Amino acid sequence: MYKTFCQECGPAEVPHFLSKLNQTVGITADIFTTPIRPVVRFIILNFNRQIDLLTYCLLVSLSFLKIIKLATKPSSDLDTDRAKCMWQAANERKILVKEVWFLAKPLNIFLAKLPNGKRLVFEGLPRPGGDSPNLEWMDNKGVMKIKFRRAGFPVPRGDSCFTLSKGMKIFREIRKNGGMTVVKPTLGSRSRHTRIHIKTEDEFITAFKIAKQIGPVVSVEEELRGTVFRVVLIGGKLAGVLRRDPPFVVGDGQKSVRNLVIETNSDERRQSHVFHAIPFNEEMDAALQIQNINRDSVPRFGEKIIVGTKIGRSQGGTNVDVTDEVHLENKKLFLDIAKYLKDPLIGLDFIIEDIKKPWRGQMPCGTIEINTIPFLDLHMYPFSGTPRDLSGMLWDEALRTA
Ligand SMILES: Nc1ncnc2c1ncn2[C@@H]1O[C@H](COP(=O)(O)OP(=O)(O)O)[C@@H](O)[C@H]1O
Ligand SMILES: [Mg+2]
């Protein structure tokens, strides 16, 4: 069993060998099933309701046989906040939700019975009206970039590759224009094994090897300018937008970075299970180095200093609801993406400097990733700004399309 703490995985650690094996098997299966994919797509699109009903009956039978357990409420420590919010919103709408447990573990697979009797089976979150055929590639950052580029939606320059030599070619191409580079597993999440701010070939080689540890295909792309925004589209509508801030402090002209971090960490919002203190670690020193300062430097009054390279909440990252501030042209772009994807639940990671200004004047900006089971709980508990019940919106959409 994999036990050693992995700095590149962060707190949501995955077993490297199993992750790579799983992805390799998935990619191989994709290649071999290409000829029958249109048939599978046809069945999924046209018999969604029947498939859900059959799976529902099968899972209920397995629970009668005591092979699996069906839990009627979330586990306080084993279920995620996403599952808890989804469950709570379902209860409020008289929707009966159960979770599949196997070998004393919740599987994040849910059964739901709507008030009109319709049965659903889903992973993580329901997909009102059924899956879109695009769901099969939406999670793949490499395929997404190619498709979005063709459709005219902004994405970072770059490509995906299996080998270091191909990766190096892409890296050199990006560096020709002076941009910094990001290297990450093409299939991945939670910033695992992702390196940003890459400038030298040595840094690139290290980053490539790190990304390759958990997946066979690596994305090498231009680093976009700005902040990561999480844009959620439900039923083709803009449901919520959060700005996800990396850990940062603001100078007062007197205190050192170290003391500013200590002060920032005393914020009571960081003492909950949702947000956390900024850790003093290598990531902090790497971020400070980019800004040519260290922990003892004294930033000017009002100067914003980034003190980490990852935006995750466990790394001291925070977020702000900015749904009402999105410029109309950016909103149009997001709605156009939803129309193109034809999927009822989309979480975009979109990087842009200012969401209040049109995207066309802020290149390079764009989508770096699509999340098909986004953490809707983030919107329910933002660090600041209006809390939004996106799980409730999702269930309302499920009821509307039922
Ligand atoms: N092209 C990019 N430009 C700038 N930052 C990026 C880029 N790609 C990824 N990142 C950073 O790495 C993080 C993780 O990348 P992402 O593509 O969202 O993968 P995942 O969330 O699945 O790990 C992002 O939240 C962002 O901070
Ligand atoms: Mg992401």
pTM of the model: 0.93
pLDDT at 368: 98
- CA dihedral sign, ordered 141, 129, 151, 335: negative
pLDDT at 174: 94
pLDDT at 296: 97
In a domain, 60, yes or no: yes
Q: Which residues line ligand 1 (CB under 6 A)?
A: 141, 156, 182, 184, 188-192, 194, 196, 221, 223-224, 228, 311, 349, 351, 368-369
How many Å lie between the centroid of ligand 1 and the Cα of residue 211?
A: 13
Task: Report the distance separating Cα 300 and Cα 306, nearest Å.
Answer: 14
Query: Which tops the pLDDT comparison, 49 or 277?
Result: 277
How many Å lie between the centroid of ligand 1 and the Cα of residue 101?
A: 32
Ligand nearest to the CA of 142: 1
Confidence band of 10 (pLDDT split at 50, 70, 90)? confident
Instruction: Give the residue from 123, 158, 175 where a domain finishes.
Output: 123
Mutation probe of ligand 1 site: the residue of 19, 159, 170, 184 with most atoms within 8 A of C-beta: 184
Could you give the C-alpha distances from 11 to 115, 191, 314, 323, in angstroms and in order?
A: 39, 11, 7, 29
Confidence band of 310 (pLDDT split at 50, 70, 90)? confident
pLDDT at 116: 92
Q: Nearest residue CA, atom 2 of ligand 1?
A: 223
DSSP string, 14-52: --HHHHHHHHHHHHHHHHHTGGGHHHHHHHHHHSHHHHH
**H or E, element range at 165:** helix 164-176
Across 155-159, average pLDDT: 97
pLDDT at 130: 84
Least confident of 120-129, 162-171, 308-317, 321-330: 308-317
Ligand nearest to the CA of 174: 1
pLDDT at 4: 55
Residues 71-119 have pLDDT tens digits of 999 999 999 999 999 999 999 999 999 999 999 999 999 999 999 999 9
DSSP string, 272-331: SSSS-PPP-SHHHHHHHHHTT--TT--PPTT-EEE--S---GGGT-EEEE-GGG--HHHH
Instruction: Give the residue from 266, 289, 309 where a domain finishes.
Output: 309
How many Å lie between the centroid of ligand 2 and the Cα of residue 245?
A: 13
In a domain, 71, yes or no: yes
In a domain, 12, yes or no: no
Ligand nearest to the CA of 351: 1
Give me the residues paired with residue 349 across strands. Answer: 230, 369
Which residue has tokens 């004294």?
298
Is-cis flag, bond preceding 279, omega within 30? no
The alpha carbon of 157 is separated from its chain's Cα centroid by a whole number of angstroms, namely 20
Single-letter code of the amino acid located at 398:
A
**344 CB-contact burial (10 Å; exposed 0-12 / middle 13-18 / buried 19+):** buried
Least confident of 186-195, 205-214, 259-268: 186-195
Task: Report the distance separating Cα 86 and Cα 111, nearest Å.
Answer: 12
Q: Nearest residue CA, atom 24 of ligand 1?
A: 191
Residues 250-275 have pLDDT tens digits of 999 999 999 999 999 999 999 988 99
In a domain, 45, yes or no: yes
In a domain, 231, yes or no: no
Mutation probe of ligand 1 site: the residue of 245, 368, 371, 375 with most atoms within 8 A of C-beta: 368
Q: How many separate domains does the chain show?
A: 2
Could you give the C-alpha distances from 185 to 9, 25, 372, in angstroms and in order?
A: 12, 15, 17
Q: Nearest residue CA, atom 26 of ligand 1?
A: 228
How many Å lie between the centroid of ligand 1 and the Cα of residue 335?
A: 22
How many Å lie between the centroid of ligand 2 and the Cα of residue 16?
A: 19
Across 25-51, average pLDDT: 86
In a domain, 286, yes or no: yes
The SS3 assignment for 119 reads strand
Mean of the per-residue pLDDT values for the chain? Answer: 94
Atom number of ligand 1 nearest to Cα 188:
22
How many Å lie between the centroid of ligand 1 and the Cα of residue 220?
A: 11
Confidence band of 188 (pLDDT split at 50, 70, 90)? confident
Residues 357-392 have pLDDT tens digits of 999 999 999 999 999 999 999 999 999 999 999 999
Instruction: Give the residue from 72, 106, 123 where a domain finishes.
Output: 123
In a domain, 29, yes or no: yes
Across 189-207, average pLDDT: 94
Confidence band of 3 (pLDDT split at 50, 70, 90)? very low
pLDDT at 19: 92
Query: Up-side HSE of residue 204: CA atoms within 13 Å toward CB?
Result: 22
Residues 165-178 have pLDDT tens digits of 999 999 999 999 88
Residues 131-144 have pLDDT tens digits of 888 998 999 999 99
How many Å lie between the centroid of ligand 1 and the Cα of residue 349?
A: 8
What proportion of the chain, given as a percentage, has pLDDT over 70? 99
- Residue 289, domain extent: 248-309
Strand bridging mode 218-222 / 304-306? unpaired
In a domain, 282, yes or no: yes
pLDDT at 33: 86
pLDDT at 2: 40
Q: Residue 35's CB: how many other CB atoms inside 10 A? A: 7
